[in-house]
Amino acid sequence: MAIIKHKKRVKPNHSKAGDFVSITILVVMGLFMALPLVLAISNSLKPLEELYIFPPRFLVSNPTLDNFHDVFVLMSQSWVPFSRYIFNTVFITLTGTIGHLLVASLCAYALAKHRFPGRNLIFWIIVTALMFSTQVTAIPNYLIMSKIGWLDSYLALIIPAIAKPLGLFLMKQFMEQIPDSLLEAARIDGAKETTVFLRIAMPQVKPAWLTLIIFCFQDLWNLQGSNYIYSEELKTLPYALSQISAAGISRAGATAAVAVIMMIVPITIFIISQSNIIETMASSGIKE
């Protein structure tokens, strides 16, 4: 007579007390990290007398939208249309982000998945370039832009954004995790190199280029570019809004509203891309 052994169901090693403590810690940390955003929104809704009350209050007592109204009134009085500033910022941000993603992905794919003389030297040059901050390269960039005649044009802001080494380094590190056998199988099936790159490699490194979009978009969206752009018609939205902040105490409410306006788009992009990153990192990835 056959003996049937029943396997005991293994219970997960979790306790309700441990889960409660973990969730509590996460909630407290989340609330703590949200405090600057709540404070910025609260200040933007405060009338002028509440902004300078002592002791200062964290939350607004008498919320008002007058600060946002003042911002739009001030911008409507500018001799350059407010829509022009928005167009400049959107154009520079989208062009620079797309260009950086395309160039960084192509270069990273070549460095990670192709063997050619000098590839290690090129990579170490990229790593070395990561050590130089934007402040260090500001003067050389200005001299180069002046020599080639790109000052006071969109190119002075777009081209340096496309050539940033951080995106290339990030994409290369992710590209190296793609199994070579997966790419070789596609080539054996007759796929061209462009197809292999677009249909095989890029979907596998989706977390990397979504993260890259967040970083590049946020940098360009908040870029003033006043060192390279002199014509008022080419000025960006952050520069125009910063002029409101420079007016002093009388425009403190408008300054608080400006801070919230500049945060809306980057935070929205971050939230959307973050959800995609989490989903992709949880469900993708092939190990050789």
Mean pLDDT of 246-264: 78
Q: Is residue 6 predicted with pLDDT exceeding 70?
A: no
Higher-confidence position of 48 and 274: 48
CATH numbers and ranges of domains, the chain: 19-64 (no CATH), 69-283 (1.10.3720.10)
Over residues 159-174, the pLDDT tens digits come to: 888 988 888 888 888 8
User: What DSSP character marks residue 233?
Assistant: G
Mean pLDDT of 153-164: 89
Q: Which of 95-104, 132-141, 200-209, 255-264 has the highest mean pLDDT?
A: 95-104
pLDDT for residue 100: 92
Tokens found for residue 99 = 């260009």
User: What DSSP character marks residue 12?
Assistant: P
When the pLDDT of each residue in the chain is averaged and rounded to a whole number, the result is: 81
CA pair distance 64, 44, nearest whole angstrom: 8
237 Cβ contact list (under 8 Å, min separation 6) = 85, 86, 88, 89, 262
CA pair distance 203, 178, nearest whole angstrom: 10
Q: Are 217 and 266 in contact, with CB atoms under 8 Å apart?
A: yes
Higher-confidence position of 93 and 267: 93
Cα angle value 120/142/219 (rounded, 5°)? 70
